[in-house]
Amino acid sequence: MGREIERKFLVQNDSWRLCAESKKPYVQGYISVVPERIVRVRLAGEKAFLTLKGRHDHAGRDEFEYPLPVDDARQILETMCIRPLIEKTRHIVKDGGLKWEVDEFGQENQGLVVAEVELESIDQEVHLPAWVGEEVTHDYRYSNASLVKEPYMRWGRRD
C-alpha cells in the first residue's frame, strides 16, 4: 500500500531560488476532489500519471500513483477534469538532507508559492530553511484539489 507523509509550508521569500536544482512544468486536473477519494491526472514535463489519494489522517494518507500514456493524459485533462486545471512550475531544492518541492502556481492560482517536504515518518525532525514560512499542512485551502474549487486569486473576494 502506498503512503504519503508530507508537510506543506508557505514560502516567505525568494532565497530558495539560489539552491534550486531543477524545475519542471506541471498541468494537473481532478476527476474527483472529494477529500476521501481524490483522483488526479498529471502531466509532469514529458511524463504523465494517474494518482488516487485517500483522506488525510495525522500520519499522512494512502496514495497510489500509476504511469499513464501522455496522449491519454492530455485527452483526460481536456475532456474529463474539473476546471480550472492546476498549472504550476515545480522546483527541486535540497536543504538539510531533505528534498523540498517548491511549487509556483500560475493561471487562477498566480501568486501562490508553497513548499512541500516528504518524510519517512510522521515524527521525523525537519530543519526549516530561512525561506520557509507558515505551515499550512492541515489547511485544506492550500491543497491542489481545493484550489480547483476555490482558486487562490479569488481568496478574499466574493463576486
Confidence at residue 4, expressed as pLDDT on a 0 to 100 scale: 82
Confidence at residue 79, expressed as pLDDT on a 0 to 100 scale: 98
Quickly state the pLDDT bin for 66 (edges 50, 70, 90): very high
Residue 105 near residue 152, CB atoms below 8 Å: yes
Residue 57 near residue 118, CB atoms below 8 Å: no
Catalytic residues: 30
Segment 55-64, tens digit of pLDDT: 877 667 889 9
Confidence at residue 101, expressed as pLDDT on a 0 to 100 scale: 97
Is residue 53's pLDDT more than 50? yes
How far, in Å, CA of 114 to CA of 104, rounded? 7
Structural domains in the chain plus CATH codes = 3-154 (2.40.320.10)
| Amino acid at residue number 122 | I
**Residue recorded with cell 511524463:** 47
Query: Is the backbone peptide bond immediately before 84 cis, with ω within 30 degrees of 0?
Result: yes
Q: Tell which residue, 117, 34, 110, 40, has the closest CA to residue 73.
A: 40
Looking at every residue in the chain, the average pLDDT score rounds to 93
Q: Tell which residue, 48, 3, 40, has the closest CA to residue 24.
A: 48
Segment 24-39, tens digit of pLDDT: 999 999 999 998 999 9
Residue 114 near residue 103, CB atoms below 8 Å: yes
Is residue 158's pLDDT more than 70? no
Confidence at residue 157, expressed as pLDDT on a 0 to 100 scale: 59
Confidence at residue 122, expressed as pLDDT on a 0 to 100 scale: 85
User: Which three-class secondary structure state does DSSP give residue 119?
Assistant: coil
Question: Is the torsion defined by CA of 68, 72, 78, 79 positive or negative?
Answer: negative
Segment 100-147, tens digit of pLDDT: 999 999 999 999 999 999 998 888 999 999 999 999 998 999 999 999
How far, in Å, CA of 26 to CA of 148, rounded? 14
Quickly state the pLDDT bin for 90 (edges 50, 70, 90): very high
Residues near 70 by beta carbon (within 8 Å), at least 6 away in sequence: 43, 46, 47, 48
Confidence at residue 159, expressed as pLDDT on a 0 to 100 scale: 46
Q: Cell numbers of 8, please?
A: 506543506
